[in-house]
């Protein structure tokens, strides 16, 4: 669930070490995503209102996927509307906290080189835990709503 969207050819200019490249990529990617949502929160909410909702899982099996509503929930979180974000997707708050937590974790990993391995272990554990919570929440909602 870690987000690393910067092309490898660009990241390689920051370091030759693979693990440091990974840390830089996650740090920059998460920072850019957070800045994007904070900058375009209102514009994005309006823009998303013009796009019809489309979820491939919903179209194929007739139920919303585990992450339906997450983008809109992130916009609501950017505006400080925790209740609306929770209503759109209850797990979106955990996902947002995970993305935010990656910034200090990756800074620590870059500053203290021998901490990179433990930071990656912590990050993978948090990522898997949140994915498990997302799936469990989805399953519970399937039973409650049907």
Q: Express each pLDDT in 22-63 by its tens digit.
A: 999 999 999 999 999 889 888 887 887 787 777 888 888 888
pLDDT score, position 142: 86
pLDDT score, position 32: 93
pLDDT score, position 95: 93
pLDDT score, position 2: 83
pLDDT score, position 10: 93
pLDDT score, position 62: 82
Tokens, residue 44 = 């994005």
Angle between helices 70-78 and 92-111 (to 10 degrees): 70
Could you identify the residue written with the tokens 């272990």? 121
Residue 9: CB atoms within 10 A of its CB come to 7
pLDDT score, position 146: 61
Give 54's contacts (C-beta < 8 A, 6+ positions apart): none
pLDDT score, position 46: 81
Report angle CA 85, 24, 19 to the nearest 5 degrees.
115
Using 50 as the pLDDT threshold, list the residues of the chain that sit under it.
none
């Amino acid at each position: 669930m870690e987000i690393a969207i910067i092309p490898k050819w660009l990241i390689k200019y920051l370091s030759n070490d693979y693990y440091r490249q990974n840390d830089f990529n996650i740090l920059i990617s998460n920072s850019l995503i957070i800045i994007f949502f904070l900058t375009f929160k209102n514009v994005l909410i309006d823009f998303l209102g013009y796009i019809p909702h489309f979820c491939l899982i919903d179209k194929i099996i007739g139920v919303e996927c585990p992450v339906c509503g997450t983008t809109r929930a992130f916009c609501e979180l950017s505006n400080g509307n925790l209740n609306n974000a929770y209503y759109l997707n209850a797990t979106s708050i955990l996902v947002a906290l995970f993305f935010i937590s990656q910034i200090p974790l990756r800074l620590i990993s870059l500053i203290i080189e021998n901490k990179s391995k433990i930071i990656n272990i912590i990050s993978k554990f948090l990522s898997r835990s949140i994915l498990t919570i997302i799936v469990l929440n989805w399953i519970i909602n399937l039973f409650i709503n049907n």
